[in-house]
């Protein structure tokens, strides 16, 4: 009823939203160009397939981490800049356990727990991989989730809880402080060096025939796929089938309801951190498994991309975070058809800026402004 009143014809729509129209045209042009390069053989379909697959993997990880950010953003009303470092914390704690399990007996426990700080132990040397050390991986995954839950709840209790009324900006700035502290505690403990964590040659690989070439998929890719989809399904079930889930959806999706019923109960907030923290920690673990390296900046590198995903999908929408994550991941990969690799992230940021300017509530219409 509203739309038909304000746009009686397509031309009205164009005139009232010129920016959106231009962007849609741009995407159509890019899509046609892509189709062109595929048809003329300039780019193999398999190459595009590889890009899509990589993008999907990256996107699933971003989406998984984004669920937690979206939830805290909408329920607690602030942009948590420490979120990236929750990812890092999950990764480091999880992988410490993985090293410990995988290298048990073969090396000193302290060295293992510190991920070979000082060059004492190398992940590749421990033959870490999903097929070679499945228990280590599983154990690490679980611990990553649990540790991040503990950290998230600990930070909430000590920092954010007393600031519930403080307003989004104050909480944002406080979260920057938390981010710095957390990140550099990790550096202090583990040292800043980047480390390789898996033995690349030991990971089973499959070649999949796609139309005109091979797309390489390895076992770790599949691990990411299985783990993230399973967790997302789990969240979906939680949201749709449980009372808690319904309450959380109500709080997140419906701002008016939240206003009427007042500040969300502490219980819901705790569960937000538990679910969000767990997913975030696992995302951190998986990203290291996928890349095969671990660095203390890994979470921070992902943070802006996660914001992009969450804003794209609509703050407060879990499904938006997942979809947004996948779209951002695909953007990073597929944009490399046109722009150099070192600008791939810029493309994702560009998408985010466009969304903020044209449709700040995102795809699934979350909250619009601060």
E strands in the chain: 195-196, 205-210, 213-218, 293-294
- List the one residue from 179, 215, 275, 298 that touches another protein (CB under 8 A): 179
CA distances from 344 to 293, 328, 347 (A): 20, 10, 5
Work out how close the CB of 229 gets to another protein at its nearest, in angstroms, rounded to a whole number.
Answer: 28
DSSP single-letter state for residue 160 = I
CA distances from 229 to 60, 213, 225, 278, 280 (A): 8, 27, 6, 14, 14
Radius of gyration (Cα) for the chain, nearest Å? Answer: 22
Categorise residue 204: left if φ over 0, alpha if ψ from -120 to 50, beta otherwise: beta
206 touches another protein (CB under 8 A):
no
184 touches another protein (CB under 8 A):
yes
Categorise residue 207: left if φ over 0, alpha if ψ from -120 to 50, beta otherwise: beta
User: Residue 347 — φ and ψ, nearest 5°?
Assistant: -60, -45
- Please count the other Cβ atoms lying within 10 Å of the Cβ belonging to residue 20: 15
Q: Measured from the CB atom, is 142 or 365 closer to another protein?
A: 365
CA distances from 252 to 70, 78, 110, 366 (A): 9, 13, 43, 8
Q: Measured from the CB atom, is 40 or 341 closer to another protein?
A: 341
187 touches another protein (CB under 8 A):
yes
Interaction pattern, residues 63-102, with another protein; x per rule: CB under 8 A: ---------------xx-----------------------
Q: Which residue has the tokens 């746009």?
A: 7
163 touches another protein (CB under 8 A):
yes
Work out how close the CB of 164 gets to another protein at its nearest, in angstroms, rounded to a whole number.
Answer: 12
Interaction pattern, residues 254-283, with another protein; x per rule: CB under 8 A: ------------------------------
118 touches another protein (CB under 8 A):
yes
Considering only the stretches 37-45, 209-217, 304-312, 327-335, report the one whose residues sit in contact with another protein under the rule CB under 8 A.
304-312
Query: What is the total count of residues that contact another protein (CB under 8 A)?
Result: 58
- List the one residue from 23, 189, 202, 219 that touches another protein (CB under 8 A): 189
106 touches another protein (CB under 8 A):
no
Residue 218: both structure tokens together: 């390895």
Q: Which positions ≥6 away from 109 have C-beta within 8 Å?
A: 100
370 touches another protein (CB under 8 A):
yes
d(CA 125, CA 122): 5
Considering only the stretches 164-172, 228-236, 250-258, 261-269, report the one whose residues sit in contact with another protein under the rule CB under 8 A.
164-172
d(CA 26, CA 16): 18
181 touches another protein (CB under 8 A):
yes
Considering only the stretches 42-50, 54-62, 97-105, 339-347, report the one whose residues sit in contact with another protein under the rule CB under 8 A.
339-347
Please give the residue ranges that form the binding site for another protein (CB under 8 A): 1-2, 5-6, 78-79, 110-111, 113-114, 117-118, 120, 159, 162-163, 166, 168-174, 176-185, 187-189, 191-192, 300, 304, 307-308, 311, 340, 342-343, 345-346, 349-350, 352-353, 356-357, 360, 369-370
């Amino acid at each position: 009823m509203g739309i038909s009143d304000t746009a009686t014809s397509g031309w009205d729509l164009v005139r009232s939203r010129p920016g959106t129209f231009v962007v849609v045209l741009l995407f159509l042009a890019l899509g046609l160009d892509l189709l062109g390069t595929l048809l003329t053989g300039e780019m193999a379909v398999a190459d595009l397939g590889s890009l899509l697959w990589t993008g999907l993997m990256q996107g699933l990880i971003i989406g998984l981490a984004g669920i937690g950010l979206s939830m805290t953003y909408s329920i607690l009303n602030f942009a948590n800049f420490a979120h990236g470092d929750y990812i890092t914390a999950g990764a480091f704690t999880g992988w410490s356990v993985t090293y410990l399990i995988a290298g048990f007996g073969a090396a000193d426990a302290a060295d293992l727990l510190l991920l070979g700080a000082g060059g004492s132990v190398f992940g590749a040397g421990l033959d870490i991989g999903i097929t070679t050390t499945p228990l280590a991986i599983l154990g690490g995954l679980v611990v990553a989730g649990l540790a991040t839950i503990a950290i998230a709840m600990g930070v909430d209790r000590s920092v954010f809880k007393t600031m519930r009324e403080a307003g989004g900006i104050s909480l944002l700035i406080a979260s920057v402080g938390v981010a710095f502290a957390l990140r550099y505690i990790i550096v202090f403990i583990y040292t800043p060096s980047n480390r390789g964590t898996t033995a690349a040659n030991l990971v089973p690989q499959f070649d999949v025939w796609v139309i005109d070439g091979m797309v390489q998929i390895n076992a770790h890719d599949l691990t990411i796929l299985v783990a993230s989809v399973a967790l997302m399904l789990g969240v979906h079930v939680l949201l749709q089938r449980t009372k808690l889930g319904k309450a959380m959806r109500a709080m997140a999706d419906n701002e008016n309801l939240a206003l009427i019923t007042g500040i969300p109960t502490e219980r819901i907030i705790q569960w937000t951190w538990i679910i969000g923290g767990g997913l975030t920690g696992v995302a951190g673990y998986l990203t290291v498994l996928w890349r095969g390296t671990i660095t203390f900046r890994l979470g921070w590198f992902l943070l802006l991309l996660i914001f992009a995903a969450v804003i794209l999908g609509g703050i407060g929408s879990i499904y938006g975070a997942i979809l947004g994550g996948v779209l951002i991941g695909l953007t990073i990969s597929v944009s490399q058809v046109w722009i150099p690799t070192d600008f791939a992230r810029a493309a994702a940021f560009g998408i985010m800026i466009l969304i903020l300017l044209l449709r700040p509530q995102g795809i699934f219409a979350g909250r619009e402004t601060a």
